[in-house]
Amino acid sequence: MKINSGIIILISLIIVLISGAVSCSSSNDIPGLNNYVTEDRAPNMRPDYTGIVIPPNIAPLNFIIEETGIQYYVKIQSPGSKSIDISSKSPKIIIPMKPWKNLLGENRGKNIDIDTYVKKPDGSWIRFKRVTNTVANENIDGHLVYRLINSLHNLYININIYQRNLENYDQSLVLSNNSFENGCVNCHTFLNNSPDNMFVHIRAKSGNKMILVKDGIAKGIDSRTNMGGAPMSYSSWHPTGKIIAFSSNKVRQFFHRYREEVRDVIDLDSGMGIYYVDSNTISTPPQLTNPDRMETLPTWSPDGKYLYFCSAPILWEDRNKLVPERYKEVKYELMRVSYDIDADTWGIVETVLSTKETGLTITFPRISPDGKFLLFCMAEYGCFTIFQPSTDLYMMDMNTGEYERLKINSKETDSWHSWSSNSKWFVFSTKRLDGVHARPHFCYVNEKGEPSKPVLLPQKDPAFYDSLNKTYNLPELITKPVKVTGRKLAAEVYSDKKINGVDITTAATEIPGDQPWMSPGDARLR
pLDDT in tens, 381-393: 998 888 888 999 9
Query: 83 and 162, same structural domain?
Result: no
Does 5 map to a domain?
no
Global pTM reads 0.88
Query: 425 and 303, same structural domain?
Result: yes
Domain boundary among 135, 163, 186: 135
Give the sign of the dihedral formed by CA 414, CA 415, CA 418, CA 424: positive
Residue 154: per-residue pLDDT: 57
Query: 106 and 203, same structural domain?
Result: no
Domain boundary among 74, 104, 135: 135
pLDDT digits (tens, 9 = 90+) for 302-357: 999 999 999 999 987 877 777 888 888 999 999 999 999 999 999 999 999 999 99
Query: 150 and 118, same structural domain?
Result: no
Q: How many domains does the chain have?
A: 2
pLDDT digits (tens, 9 = 90+) for 28-62: 678 789 899 999 999 999 999 999 999 999 999 99
Query: 147 and 131, same structural domain?
Result: no
Rounded percentage of the chain residues whose pLDDT exceeds 90: 66
Residue 254 CA, distance from chain mean position: 24
| 3-state SS, residue 251 | strand
* Average pLDDT of the segment spanning 446-466: 98
Does 513 map to a domain?
yes
Query: 363 and 219, same structural domain?
Result: yes
Q: In what order do the strands lie in the sheet with 63-65?
A: 45-46, 63-65, 92-93
| 3-state SS, residue 381 | coil
Mean pLDDT, all residues of the chain: 86
Residue 490: per-residue pLDDT: 84
Is-contact 347 320, C-beta < 8 A?
no
Q: Which of 83-97, 258-272, 364-378, 405-419 has the lowest mean pLDDT?
A: 258-272
User: Domain holding 334: CATH number?
Assistant: 2.120.10.30
Query: 130 and 154, same structural domain?
Result: no
Does 9 map to a domain?
no
Query: 298 and 399, same structural domain?
Result: yes
Residue 290: per-residue pLDDT: 93
Rounded percentage of the chain residues whose pLDDT exceeds 70: 84
Domain boundary among 135, 154, 178: 135
Confidence of residue 300 (pLDDT cuts 50, 70, 90): very high
Does 493 map to a domain?
yes
- Whether 184 shows a pLDDT value over 80: the answer reads no
Does 2 map to a domain?
no
Helix (H) or strand (E) holding 5: helix 5-19
Query: 417 and 301, same structural domain?
Result: yes
Query: 304 and 244, same structural domain?
Result: yes
Query: 227 and 102, same structural domain?
Result: no
Residues 6+ positions from 310 with CB-CB distance below 8 Å: 295, 296, 297, 332, 333, 334, 335, 362, 363, 365, 383
